Amino acid sequence: MSLNKHQQLGHAGFDPEETQQINASLQGMCNGLEIQQNGEHTQKRSNKSLFVRNWLIVSQPLALLAIFALLWGIAYSVLPRQLTEPNTPFMRLWFLFVGAQISGILVSLTGLPDMLGMLFWGVLYTNVGWAEFQGLQKVEVFLREMALVNIMLLAGLGLDYDSLKKLFRFIMQLTLIPTVAEVVAIAVLSRYLLDLPWLWGVLLGLVVTAVSPNVVVTVLLRLKEERLGMNKGIHTLIIAMTSCNDVLAIFLFGVILGVIFSTGSLTSQILQGPIGIVIGLAFGGACGASLLYVPSYKAKYTNGLRFTMTILAGTLSVVGSKLIGYPSAGALGCITTAFVAGTGWKKRIDYKTNEVEMYLDLLWKFLKPVSFSLIGKEVNFSVLEGNTVLYGAITLLVAVTLRLLFSYISTLGSDLNWKEKAYVTLSGFPKATVQAALGPAALDLARSLNATDDLPRAQTVLIVTVLAIIFTAPLGALLMIKLAPKWLRKEQSENVGA
């Protein structure tokens, strides 16, 4: 409208050149305003996109944080003040978990695994003198056991019978060769660098060798959305390898732990493992089989009841095995329960999704800050020896390097190209979830049995476990994400399964 007016004024007596200059100037101003508006619109859209992207990351942890706050509000309303005042042991323990959840949210915004924030919060908590939970030691142990139960049940449900049957040789090859190499390396190095007895070295190796399903599966879900690496079943292969690796590590860890803390004769110590295997298989098989029929598939609350029975069976397996003196049976009982039940559920014609696994994963969202903050809480700098950290780091560096080398060797003979082989090898690098569950187990058992001679060894196992999480979890996740577009092919077909 402004341009037309000036054009009319030009015809009414303004110099044509001057009118043209005015028109050009006004046109430039209009273009500038339009560009500025477009820029502001683009910036707003970019900010909105950034907000939406971050909201998807933090909304669920924030919901969990809100649940923690609501639970505290209820506790404050109904429990005695000596339990709910800020400076009581109960509330200090509560703030440990809440702070771990907040730290996890903040760290996740940087693109690193949230468990690192939770771990560092636990380390900070104990080193500023807040980790004094008098009278709640049994609660700590029980919460750690619940985290272990959760991880073992998820590991059992993660085992796919058909995939194991189809790729059995290759999966066993990928599982056994790197695991043996890493455990042997850690056992030897810890014997001469950390002064651990051979059995304790093997125990440490079994803790470290487990691959983090939390990190690996999270990355694979992201790659699945981008359809990377789906052309040769790499996702299925990595998940099966991770599950088998964790099952083997957890089971053998239970056996070695039972042998170390066995107080009977040499014969009973030798039989500790085999008897634990029999008890674990029998208990897990019976519980898993019962879950196939109770409750009925047509019951209204089938999945909720299945979840409740599964988690209770796993918990009884762990705490009951300790009561009867065969702690090695606990882990195997958990895994067997989940594997037998999960395999049976999947064979049903009307099977769609395993909601029990979904509920267990949701439970892990609550137990994750509990587990990682409690393991970080055990790292007290005032009693930490520099040699333990240095030699522990050297042990981990050598052992993990050997694992990667033997993992790549294990992929030889497959139809994968060298980049895909390298990616499968890399997927065994991150350590976090299982380590948080197994790392403190020896320390808890040594304390409960008053085994003062074993406390320093258990503390060394815990320190090296923390180092393994810190060194491998963020780097492993970062490398898997960054190298996937370069090493894996993008599948275009919509009909290709995961």
Each residue's pLDDT tens digit, 202-217: 999 999 999 987 788 7
Going by the DSSP 8-state scheme, the letter that residue 490 receives in this structure is B
Cα separation, 68 vs 101, in Å, equals 9
- Check if the beta carbon of residue 342 is closer than 8 Å to that of residue 290: no
Terminal alpha carbon distance of the chain: 60
DSSP H or E run through 151:
helix 137-158
pLDDT single digits (tens) 403-435: 999 999 999 888 889 999 999 999 999 998 888
Query: For residue 22, is pLDDT > 70?
Result: no
What is the reported pLDDT for 15? 54
Task: Please state the rounded mean pLDDT for residues 150-178.
Answer: 85
pLDDT single digits (tens) 297-333: 888 888 899 999 999 999 999 999 888 888 878 888 9
What is the reported pLDDT for 16? 53
Going by the DSSP 8-state scheme, the letter that residue 453 receives in this structure is G
pLDDT single digits (tens) 393-406: 999 999 999 999 99
Query: For residue 121, is pLDDT > 80?
Result: yes
What share of the chain in percent tops pLDDT 70? 84
pLDDT category, 39, cuts 50, 70, 90? low
pLDDT category, 350, cuts 50, 70, 90? low
Outline where DSSP puts E strands in 36-89.
none
pTM of the model: 0.76
What is the reported pLDDT for 124? 92
What is the reported pLDDT for 3? 45
**What backbone torsions phi and psi does residue 85 show, to the nearest 5 degrees?**
-70, 150
Task: Output the CA angle 482-156-467, nearest 5 degrees.
Answer: 50
- Check if the beta carbon of residue 464 is closer than 8 Å to that of residue 395: yes
**Hey, what are 166's tokens?**
């189809």
What share of the chain in percent tops pLDDT 90? 34
Closest of 207, 217, 123, 248 to residue 435, by C-alpha: 207
Closest of 436, 460, 386, 400 to residue 201, by C-alpha: 460
Cα separation, 103 vs 357, in Å, equals 26
Query: For residue 445, is pLDDT > 80?
Result: yes
**Hey, what are 463's tokens?**
């320190």
**Hey, what are 206's tokens?**
């079994």
What is the reported pLDDT for 397? 96
DSSP letter for each residue of 358-417: HHHHHHHHHHHHHHHHHHHHT--GGG--HHHHHHHHHHHHHHHHHHHHHHHHHTTTSS--
Query: For residue 97, is pLDDT > 70?
Result: yes
Q: Identify the burial level of 188 via C-beta atoms within 10 angstroms of its C-beta, where 0-12 means exposed, 13-18 middle and 19 or more buried.
A: middle
Cα separation, 433 vs 414, in Å, equals 29
Q: Of 175-189, 264-278, 313-327, where does mean pLDDT reach its minimum? A: 264-278
Domains of the chain from N-terminus onward: 138-372+379-487 (1.20.1530.20)
Query: For residue 30, is pLDDT > 60?
Result: no
Task: Provide the CB-side half-sphere exposure for 401 (13 A, CA).
Answer: 6
Cα separation, 241 vs 284, in Å, equals 22
One-letter amino acid at 284 equals G
Any residues with CB less than 8 A from the CB of 284 and at least 6 apart, and which?
317, 332, 333, 334, 335, 336, 337, 339, 340
What is the reported pLDDT for 52? 62
Length of the chain: 498
Q: What average pLDDT does the structure give for the chain?
A: 83
**Hey, what are 202's tokens?**
């093997």
Task: Please state the rounded mean pLDDT for residues 276-293.
Answer: 93
Q: Of 148-157, 162-171, 193-202, 302-311, where does mean pLDDT reach its minimum? A: 162-171
Q: Identify the burial level of 113 via C-beta atoms within 10 angstroms of its C-beta, where 0-12 means exposed, 13-18 middle and 19 or more buried.
A: buried
Query: For residue 494, is pLDDT > 60?
Result: no
What is the reported pLDDT for 495? 42
pLDDT category, 133, cuts 50, 70, 90? confident
> How many other β-carbons are positioned within 10 Å of the β-carbon of residue 286?
15
Range from 6-20, 33-47, 299-313 that averages highest in pLDDT:
299-313
Query: For residue 48, is pLDDT > 80?
Result: no
Task: Please state the rounded mean pLDDT for residues 343-351.
Answer: 81
